Copies of this chain bind each other. A is one copy, B any other.
Amino acid sequence: MTEAQAARLAIREKRHAGSTRGLAPGYVQCNLAVVPQADAFDFLLYCQRNHKACPVLEVCDPGDPEPKRLAPGADLRTDLPRYAVYRSGERLPDVTDLRALWRPDLVAFLIGSGITFDDALERAGVPTDRHRWVVRSTLPTVPAGRFRGDLIVTMRWLTPQQAIVATQVSSRFPQNHGAPIHIGDPAAIGADLARPLFGPPVERVPEGLVAVFWACGVTPQQAALDARVELLLAHSPAHGFVTDLKADALAVL
C-alpha cells in the first residue's frame, strides 16, 4: 500500500480526522467541488477560463463518487476528512461523510491544490509552513454562465532569493496554479490583507521580504457560492483529497 492509499484509508476509517497538509508528501492533493449536473457545464467552463485558479485534474461522471483516474477505488464521499456543505449559498455545518447527501445528479470536480508543490518548494529550500495567507484580490475572473467573481490568491512572504526560486519551481507545475500571478505591492492587485480568508490579519510586508501571489483554488468554490448554486459540496479548507498521482509526474521539465 502506498502512502497515499494508507492516508485515504486512515481518513475513511476515521483514524485521521485533521488537516491533510503534510500528509503523504509528494502526492498531488486536490480541492473538491461537487455541483448538480445542471450547473456542471458552466462550472467546467468557468474552470477552463480561469485555469490558473482552477486547474481541473478530474471530473467524475454524474453520480459517480469514484475518481477513476486519480485514485481508482477511492470514494470522494468518505475519503476526505471534512466537508463544507452549502445550500443556495448558505453554509451548513461541516460533515465528515457525504453519503447521506449524495445524489445521482451530482458531478464531482477535483482541482489541483497549491499544497502539491509545497514538497518541491521545501526541497528547493523555500519554507512553506509559515508566512502564508489566502486573501481576496480585486482582479476579476472571466465569467461563465452564473459563475463569476474576483480572483482569490495565496500570498507568501519570501526573501528575494526565495521568491526567484519559488517562481522557478512553481512554474514547473502548470496543472497546480503554476507561476505566481504577481510579485510585490499587495495593493496593486487589491489584495485584502486586513481580512484574509486564511491566516491572521496583517498590515504590511516586512522590510527585506517580498510578497508573492499565486491564483488560489478557493476561487471556484467562492464563485459557486456567490452563484448560490442549489447544492455545493466541497472540501473543508486544508482538508483535501490525496490522490495516487506523484506531484513530480505532473511537473514540466
Contact = CB atoms under 8 A, between A and B. Distances in A.
Interface string A166-202: 0010011011001000000000000000000000000
A253 B41 contact: no
Given A69-B142, A142-B69, A171 B252 contact: yes
Nearest to A44: B44
Given A44-B48, A252-B253, 10 more contacts: A41-B41, A41-B44, A44-B44, A49-B58, A49-B59, A69-B142, A171-B253, A174-B175, A252-B252, A253-B253
DSSP class of A's interface residues: helix, strand, loop or mixed? mixed
A174 B172 contact: no
A165 interface: no
A194 to B, nearest CB: 32
A174 B252 contact: yes
Interface string A34-59: 00000011001100110000001011
Q: Return the 9 tightest CB-CB contacts between A and B, nearest first.
A: A41-B41, A252-B252, A174-B174, A171-B253, A44-B44, A45-B59, A48-B56, A171-B252, A174-B252
Copies of chain A in the complex = 2
A59 B48 contact: yes
Nearest to A47: B48
Interface in A49-107: 49, 56, 58-59, 61, 69
Interface residues on A, range: 20 to 34
A253 B164 CA distance: 12
Contacts of A253: 168, 171-172, 252-253
A41 B172 CA distance: 29
A174 B178 CA distance: 12
Contacts of A168: 253
Nearest to A56: B48
Contacts of A178: 252
Nearest to A43: B41
A166 to B, nearest CB: 14
A144 B60 CA distance: 9
- Which residue of A61, A175, A252 has the most chain B CB atoms within 10 A of its CB atom? A252
- Which residue of A45, A168, A174 has the most chain B CB atoms within 10 A of its CB atom? A45
- Which residue of A48, A49, A58, A144 has the most chain B CB atoms within 10 A of its CB atom? A48
